[in-house]
Structure 1
Amino acid sequence: MSLRASVAYILTRAVAGALAMASLALFVRVLGPSEYAHLSLGLAAAALSSSLLIIPLNTTLGRLYGEAALRERLIATLSMIVMAFGIVLLIAALVLEWQGASWLARGVLPAAALFAALQGLLDFVAQWSTSALQPRRYSRLLLARAVGVLLLGFLALQSSASAPAVLLAMALSCALSLAISLRGSGWPSLKLYDRALQSRILRFAAPLLLTCALSYLLQWGDRYLLARMVPLAELGRYSALADFTQQTLILVCSGLGSAWYPRIVQAWGAQDKLEAQRLMSRYALVALALILPAATGFAVLLAPLAAVLFGAAYRDLPAGLSACLVLAAIIGAAKSFYFDIPLLLAQRVWRQALGIALSALLALLVMWLAVPLLGISGAALGLLCGQGAGVIYSLVAGRGVLRGQLDLRAAGKLVLATLVMLAVLLCLPHDTLIALALSIVLAGASYAVMLLALDVDGLRSQWLRGWFAAYRERRR
């Protein structure tokens, strides 16, 4: 069941990622590097509210949902907190804009606040769907949002090629996707709001608030630092490439985590540590099968993709920028959706916060030293150093909970399949959009063929057994 759910989540994330890629290309091309820098800073402002409340609450929901007796009251209590926070956030943004206290370009802060409020509610419903093992509602939610961002963003740019217009379009797409995905499912009754749960939620979420605030510093601190150290157009170029990388790689990896993490939590909550360990080991192999080809392919294709999709301003990228951004994104995704799982299961949230603090401080220190020498490549290098240090810390701090066991023989086969895929990529042209699409299809096909040929994790044997069973059934 986990494998089928993984496929459903990964496909949903892949389609949503492709639509997000198209939306990003549209925004970058129309806005240009300088205006896209304003959009990036607006998204950074919106992400702050998510880091301070929504992510801690969602993590609390994902961890406590395994206790069946709490579920209805937990959903009602958390949903009321999320909605109240969104209203307060929007009012505060309007007051700051009216008083002229915002340092962002005019109109960006209120639009970012509206987007943050609706995006927070959408993220909450998405977490609820994954915790309840409802991939269909989760898929509707993400796909409707991705389609809405592309279509509404296009319409918004026709009237005003500005960052506030794009942010408003993104906010409206969140509202529409919520309406579509929740149709007929029923919102939890607010009468179930439980004040007694507040203290337990606070005990679990308070350390996570610090963790998420530090994660925000690690993820978005480079934008604020670059805004003070490089021209606005350079910030726009860096932000476009970083957003492009994260929206594809991290979204796909999170789709895999969405399928496996709730099952690991439920096994752990039922005190079935053997099953939790089995799921964790299985998850490690499936994650490696996704991460290896994704990181390799993206490292090769990021520069030509940026040149084709984003335009002339992105043709000549600084040395090392693409590789550092790709590695930082994939290592950060692996940390968040795999290496931090033991810390969350054991509720070692303070240790997790300490690890992220060290990662953020190291990343910003390297950026501060490297940007004057390397430009925006220095920011990417700092991000890579911080994420790499975070993985090492998580491995040490999570010892004694679950072991990250990996079948070395199967892992070797995955490495061989990835090398064959890399050879295919390097032999194909990447100068046009059609050539890039063909390269991606052929490389993916070569990787799939190698997985079957090498019988990774019994994949070929399972496929042949299923095929012969279906054939015999038809013969009858």
Structure 2
Amino acid sequence: MSTPSLTSNAAITTAALAISSGMNFVALFVWTHLLQPAEFGTFSLVSATALLLSAFAFEWLRLTSARTLFDATQPYEISPARANAMLALYAACCCVVAGAAMLLWACGISALGIPPGVLPVVAAFAFTEMALSLINTISRIRTEAWQYFASMVARSILSLLVGVVLVASFGYGATGAIWGTVTAQAAVVLAGVVLDRFWRTLRPWQARKAELGAALRLGAPLIGSCTLTYGASVVDRFLIAGVLGAAEIGHYMAPADLLQKTLVFVMMAINLTAYPTLVRSYERDGSAAAGRVLQNSFLLQLGLGLPAAIGIAVLAPGIADLLFGEAYRDQASRILPLLGIASLLRCLVTFQLAMVFQIKKRMKLMLVPPAITLVTMVLLAPPAMRLWGVLGMAMAASTAQFVTFAVSLVLSKREMPLAFVTGETLKIAAAAIGMGALLYPLRGLHGALPTLSFIAAGGIAYGALLLAFQFGPACKAAHRVPILRALLARSASRRP
């Protein structure tokens, strides 16, 4: 069987992300109708704690693996010695985390607002989530796109199916939704290890000290960076819990999750498909080649992310009515615009600017963006929430992300001089703003059919404006469609 091209792998990876994100989108609709805001808030808080634990204990392993495991001379394009070291370190981290969770449970001590009885579930969530992330990371390094596809899609479908059965049939509420995710992740990990012969070639108990030491030296700075990064992304939930209570976490996280499954998905898909090319370009051809990959990635991220953020902001009332249960709609329509801005800026930092630090192995610089976000949020959010509730949290989040983006932009340009303000990026901004201006008078018309129609019309208007502004990638794509090619040729013939 021939190896798929990087383009084919990118298409398969994007399809996997699209389907899994679509299922997560369905899950958000289901949970906001099956769970009350307080239950959804509990689900979000437990998930956030598990992800924070995973970031602290395991995420540095995933990032180190993504950067160091590729070896073109090996049969599976993975260095077996380094892979053995990574698995050994993962097992060691699992033992430490499991011991700590069981100790807190036995002593009846809560952590981060999570009751002691739930802590073993949090640990299981973190173990399975990171095991699945490691499997998916290695699949991407090996350009085994169909393995990645199967893993992502199966996890999304199984987690929803198992969770709905536990919630709707057995009345387990937030606990059922959490166990649905844990069960799905564990099942997909087990299937991936059993079905892929690569995993049977590894011997983590034979890991060499040299490889363990190298992984720890590269990964140690990432422990703080990953913890800060994830902490910055979930600190809003803990701050809301401390100031406003669990029910308000549900009100805030419903629109935040919507953005995660739409805007953030778009940006993450571009990053995931571009990252293998970025690493290979830097290792084989140097900094200039990697810079070209990053420049193209930025155009795609801005070109898809900015109109998505503006469209969600303008159509927030209709989108809230379409997707959320009645208990969530009012707050969602108020905070979606601000959260859209915050999500866009956060994605540009995480999936673009921080890539400069990672590819140049300037791991300590990766500590800066999340640290700025955390400090700004902790300072601004509590007083803002006391004045304006969850709207105040959204205001603090957008302010924090703006400050973080500005500082990260300055630092990244020192490492790799990339042009972020160009004629092409200005065309994207003009087209996105123009689309928003066309949609704004329609934002008061609610209902499923009008909202869906406006979303489609916004996409068409944005594409037409890009063509009108002669945006290069859009014109190239349009020339592949016979009808559009004919229209563009006719338009060009009429120009003086």
TM-score for the superposition, normalised by structure 1: 0.89
Sort the Cα spacing of 1:461 and 1:326 in 2 relative to 1 into closer, same or farther, 3 A.
Answer: closer
1:22 to 3, 19, 26: 26
How far the C-alpha of 1:5 sits from its partner, in A, is 4.7
2:155 to 140, 145, 148: 145
Deviations 1:171-195 (A, max 9, x none): 1111233345556322151256333
Deviations 1:267-309 (A, max 9, x none): 2222522321221222221222111122112223444333333
* Contact 1:14-1:248 at 8 Å conserved across structures: no
Deviations 1:92-135 (A, max 9, x none): 43443343222524743222221211111111112222222332
* Structure 1 CA distance for aligned equivalents of residues 283 and 457 of structure 2: 43
The corresponding residue for 1:125 is 135
Further displaced range: 378-387 or 42-51: 378-387
Sort the Cα spacing of 1:143 and 1:454 in 2 relative to 1 into closer, same or farther, 3 A.
Answer: farther
How far the C-alpha of 1:163 sits from its partner, in A, is 1.8
The corresponding residue for 2:176 is 165
* Contact 1:66-1:266 at 8 Å conserved across structures: no
* Structure 2 CA distance for aligned equivalents of residues 32 and 167 of structure 1: 15
Runs of 4+ in structure 1 deviating by more than 6 angstroms, as ranges, are none
Matched, 1:228 2:242: yes
Sort the Cα spacing of 1:247 and 1:53 in 2 relative to 1 into closer, same or farther, 3 A.
Answer: farther
How far the C-alpha of 1:424 sits from its partner, in A, is 5.4
Question: Which ranges in structure 1 are unaligned for 5 or more consecutive residues?
Answer: 469-476
* Contact 1:141-1:181 at 8 Å conserved across structures: yes
Matched, 1:177 2:181: no
Specify the SS of the correspondent of 2:79. Answer: helix
How far the C-alpha of 1:339 sits from its partner, in A, is 0.6
Specify the SS of the correspondent of 2:262. Answer: helix
Sort the Cα spacing of 1:365 and 1:445 in 2 relative to 1 into closer, same or farther, 3 A.
Answer: same
Matched, 1:210 2:224: yes
* Structure 1 CA distance for aligned equivalents of residues 449 and 93 of structure 2: 45
* Contact 2:43-2:175 at 8 Å conserved across structures: yes
2:338 to 324, 327, 340: 324
Matched, 1:256 2:270: yes
The corresponding residue for 2:446 is 431
Deviations 1:133-161 (A, max 9, x none): 33222222111111112211111112124
* Structure 1 CA distance for aligned equivalents of residues 472 and 6 of structure 2: 15
The corresponding residue for 2:89 is 81
Sort the Cα spacing of 1:409 and 1:435 in 2 relative to 1 into closer, same or farther, 3 A.
Answer: same
The corresponding residue for 2:491 is none
* Contact 1:114-1:168 at 8 Å conserved across structures: no
* Contact 1:455-1:461 at 8 Å conserved across structures: no
* Structure 1 CA distance for aligned equivalents of residues 385 and 33 of structure 2: 25
* Structure 2 CA distance for aligned equivalents of residues 453 and 79 of structure 1: 52
The corresponding residue for 2:257 is 243
How far the C-alpha of 1:46 sits from its partner, in A, is 0.4
The corresponding residue for 2:383 is 369
* Contact 2:264-2:343 at 8 Å conserved across structures: yes
* Structure 1 CA distance for aligned equivalents of residues 10 and 311 of structure 2: 21
How far the C-alpha of 1:206 sits from its partner, in A, is 1.0
Question: What aligned pairs does 1:412-431 form with structure 2 within 5 A after superposition?
Answer: 412-423=426-437, 425-426=439-440, 427=442, 431=446
Sort the Cα spacing of 1:53 and 1:431 in 2 relative to 1 into closer, same or farther, 3 A.
Answer: same
The corresponding residue for 1:471 is none
Specify the SS of the correspondent of 1:399. Answer: helix
* Contact 1:90-1:113 at 8 Å conserved across structures: yes
Matched, 1:53 2:57: yes
The corresponding residue for 1:35 is 39
The corresponding residue for 2:108 is 100
* Structure 1 CA distance for aligned equivalents of residues 117 and 195 of structure 2: 35
* Contact 2:85-2:215 at 8 Å conserved across structures: no
2:301 to 259, 284, 287: 287
2:400 to 376, 386, 403: 386
Deviations 1:369-414 (A, max 9, x none): 3111121122222222222222222222223432222583332332
* Contact 1:453-1:460 at 8 Å conserved across structures: no
Amino acid at match of 1:155: V
Deviations 1:171-227 (A, max 9, x none): 111123334555632215125633311111111111111111212331122222221
* Structure 2 CA distance for aligned equivalents of residues 463 and 184 of structure 1: 42
1:65 to 65, 69, 74: 69
Sort the Cα spacing of 1:136 and 1:446 in 2 relative to 1 into closer, same or farther, 3 A.
Answer: farther
Question: Which ranges in structure 2 are unaligned for 5 or more consecutive residues?
Answer: 484-496
* Structure 2 CA distance for aligned equivalents of residues 397 and 61 of structure 1: 25
* Contact 1:17-1:252 at 8 Å conserved across structures: no
Sort the Cα spacing of 1:32 and 1:351 in 2 relative to 1 into closer, same or farther, 3 A.
Answer: same
How far the C-alpha of 1:68 sits from its partner, in A, is 4.4
Sort the Cα spacing of 1:116 and 1:442 in 2 relative to 1 into closer, same or farther, 3 A.
Answer: same
* Contact 1:45-1:112 at 8 Å conserved across structures: yes
* Contact 1:250-1:333 at 8 Å conserved across structures: yes
Report how many aligned residue pairs link the two structures.
468
* Contact 2:225-2:366 at 8 Å conserved across structures: yes
Specify the SS of the correspondent of 1:317. Answer: helix
Sort the Cα spacing of 1:66 and 1:467 in 2 relative to 1 into closer, same or farther, 3 A.
Answer: farther
Further displaced range: 206-215 or 411-420: 411-420
Identity of aligned residues (%): 25
Matched, 1:340 2:346: no
Further displaced range: 116-125 or 433-442: 433-442
* Structure 1 CA distance for aligned equivalents of residues 69 and 301 of structure 2: 24
* Contact 1:144-1:180 at 8 Å conserved across structures: no
The corresponding residue for 2:310 is 296
Matched, 1:193 2:207: yes
The corresponding residue for 1:395 is 409
The corresponding residue for 2:494 is none
* Structure 2 CA distance for aligned equivalents of residues 318 and 137 of structure 1: 36
Amino acid at match of 1:142: M
Amino acid at match of 2:274: W
Sort the Cα spacing of 1:370 and 1:203 in 2 relative to 1 into closer, same or farther, 3 A.
Answer: same
